[in-house]
Amino acid sequence: MAETIDPRVEKATREFCAKFKRLRAEIGKAIVGQDEIVDGVLTCLFVGGHALLEGVPGLGKTYLIRTLAQALSLDFSRIQFTPDLMPADIIGTNIVMDDPATGHREFRFQHGPLFAQIVLADEINRATPKTQSALLEAMQEHTVTVGGTRYTLKEPFFVMATQNPIEQEGTYPLPEAQLDRFFYKLIVEYSSRDELKTILDRTTTGFVADIQPIMTQEEILGAQKLVKRVILAPHVQDYVVRLTMATHPEGEFATDMTNKYVRWGSSPRGAQALTLASKVRALLEGRFNVSFEDVKEAALPALRHRVLLNFEGEAENMSTDTVIEDLIEKTPTLTEKAA
Confidence of residue 202 (pLDDT cuts 50, 70, 90): confident
- What are the residue boundaries of the structural domains of the chain, listed by start? 1-206+214-220, 230-339
Spatial separation of the C-alpha atoms in residues 184 and 277, rounded to whole Å = 9
Per-residue model confidence as pLDDT tens digits over 282-299? 999 888 899 999 999 999
What number does CATH give the domain 230-339?
Answer: 1.10.8.80
Instruction: Give the pLDDT score at 1.
Output: 36
- The 10s digit of each residue's pLDDT in 60-103 is 777 888 888 888 888 888 998 888 888 888 888 877 777 777 76
Name the phi and psi angles at 301, rounded to 5.
-65, -25
Q: Indicate whether 29 pLDDT > 70.
A: yes
Q: Which helix (H) or strand (E) holds 150?
A: strand 149-152
Say if residues 147 and 131 touch (Cβ distance below 8 Å): no
- Mean pLDDT within 334-338: 65
Fold for the domain defined by 1-206+214-220? Rossmann fold (3.40.50)
Distance CA 251, CA 249 (A): 5
- H/E stretch holding 301: helix 292-303
DSSP assignment of 164-177 equals -SS--TT--PPPHH
